[in-house]
Amino acid sequence: MGSTGHGSTYRGSDSGDSRSVSPGPISRSHSPTNTPTSSSWTSRGGPHNGYAPGARKFLGKHLRKLSTSLPTHYSPFSPPLAQTPNTPYFRGGGIYYRAKGIVFRRARMLTFLTCFVGLVLFIFMHLHHNPVSNRLRAASGGSKFVIILAANQGGGVMTWKGPKEWAVERDSIANKKAYAERWGYHLEIKDMSTKKRYAHEWRESWEKVDVIKQTMRQYPKAEWFWWLDLHTFIMEPSISLQTHIFNHLQNVTYRDINVYNPLNITHPPAENNFFFLDDMSKSAVGDDKANSINLIVPQDCGGFNLGSFFVKRSEWSERLLDIWWDPVGYEQKHMEWEHKEQDALEYLYINQPWIRSGTAFIPQRMINSFPPGACSDTPDDPRIFYKEQDRDFVVNMAGCEWGRDCWGEMASYRGLSERLNKGWWKKHF
């Protein structure tokens, strides 16, 4: 005799049948006492899938959270993460959508690689200092500048040159070479040894003007020429001339000599001393435009200082150099002008009003700081002497050969520059 329910059919041993089937496991869903009717199950809204009402929604939500937190091996051919046919934002796995995903992912990767390569090239070619970047700097404006360095002063003809003199020259030349290569500038090292080249053998003391004229002919495409005496040292090689001066020339120079006038020159020139003065000559600042500046000169305690100065190629400068180098002026005044071509320029500035309109002055410490011992008449003037905390650009050991130790000063400032500019970034960028 058998009984039938929603579960299995069971046959007992009392039926007389020799075959006996062992009863299987009885679940709650098959239990006669707990078996819900079809109507009551449907009325609760639960599907016939073996889960209690609401269990599928609860489990599905937490399983999706678990699956998205597990590590995966991403493939460009796999569908987007956590997208399944049951998610509401699933767009299908067709060829179109897969190809679209691959294209967009590759486009993003290509954009990233392009930006990365561009950044590397920018650093290598513009920030890092190497032969390629130096050539680029020269092509992008560095070739407009020529550094003229006076070397081999006297050449050992008049006085014997010892090891210290050669050491000073070696350090000075190496300093200018490294700076010129770093920024793509031209460097012209001029031999200033004493030779019988001019009508009067002592005119070598004036040859600075002639050397500038020669260099202008050698570099016809250059615009600015920077003269540096041998006893100068560039303290901040990481600063270019453009950044330091020429990108803002109007703001770092002054045209009115009354701003700092150690020679007490009357400026503007007095009208009763000249037959005619135009409006520009009457003005203390000329036309006050940066493009009319043709000569940039610093002043020290004694007046104009030509240990470090700039000359621009122009008709104005060619005219000035011709008059400056005129042998008539030399023959008449060389016994009076102790500082040779420097005194000659001061004389021309005072007596030729047109020279004032093209001349600009620059604070001495921007291109020509002095060490202690120079300008002994004004030892405490803050406009003249080198200051480490201000990181002055150039130091000029002017007059060190007259009772001071040129080699000791050069070695001291070279070591200071190396200390101030040490580090990986300063050396390579």
Taking the C-alpha atoms of residue 297 and residue 295, their distance in angstroms, rounded to an integer, is 6
The pLDDT score that the predictor gives to residue 325 is 85
d(CA 385, CA 3): 118
Q: Tell me, what's the pLDDT at 39?
A: 47
pLDDT band at 113 (very low <50, low <70, confident <90, very high): confident
* pLDDT value, residue 3: 43
11 compared with 352, residue with greater pLDDT: 352
Tokens 């070619």 sit at which residue? 125
pLDDT for res 96: 67
Write out the two tokens for 174: 């190496």
Give me the residue label for tokens 């200018």. Answer: 176
pLDDT at 4: 45
| Lowest-confidence segment of 33-42, 47-56, 380-389 by average pLDDT | 33-42
Please give the average per-residue pLDDT across 21-47, as a whole number: 47
Q: Using a pLDDT cut of 70, give the percent of the chain over it.
A: 64
Q: Which residues contact 113 (CB under 8 A, 6 or more apart)?
A: none
- Which of 71-85, 119-133, 364-378 is predicted least confidently? 71-85
Cα–Cα dist 269/282, whole Å: 7
Rounded to 5°, angle at Cα 397 from 263 and 417: 125
Residue 249 confidence (pLDDT) above 60: yes
How much is the pLDDT for 233?
Answer: 98
Give the integer Cα–Cα distance in Å for 289 and 253.
Answer: 11
pLDDT grade, residue 195 (50/70/90)? low
148-166 tens-digit pLDDT: 998 886 665 556 788 899 9
Which tokens go with 265?
């020159």
Name which residue leads in pLDDT, 429 or 407.
Answer: 407
Query: How far apart are the C-alpha atoms of 233 and 317, rounded to whole Å?
Result: 26
Q: How far is residue 121's CA from residue 253's CA, in Å, rounded to a whole number?
A: 36
Q: What is the pLDDT of residue 6?
A: 46
Kindly report the length of the chain. Answer: 429
Confidence bin at 7 (pLDDT 50/70/90): very low
pLDDT of residue 319: 95
Residue 134 has pLDDT above 70, yes or no: no
Q: How confident is the model over 91-113, as a mean pLDDT?
A: 69
pLDDT (tens digit, 9 = 90+) per residue, 333-373?
767 777 778 888 999 999 999 999 999 999 999 999 999 98
Residues 6+ apart with CB under 8 A from 51: 59
pLDDT at 41: 44
Residue 262: predicted pLDDT? 94
Q: 271, exposed or middle or buried, with CB in 10 Å at 0-12, 13-18, 19+? A: exposed
Give residue 29's Cα distance to chain centre.
Answer: 79
CB-based contact 20:11 (threshold 8 Å): yes
| Residues 349, 358: Cα–Cα separation, whole Å | 10
How far apart (Å, rounded) are the C-alpha atoms in residues 176 and 185? 10
Name the one residue in this structure whose structure tokens are 């560095």: 142
Structure token digits, residue 241: 């001339």
- What's the CA gap between 276 and 154, in Å, rounded? 44
Which of the listed ranges 61-70, 104-113, 336-345 does the model predict with the highest average pLDDT?
336-345
Q: What percent of the chain has pLDDT over 90?
A: 44
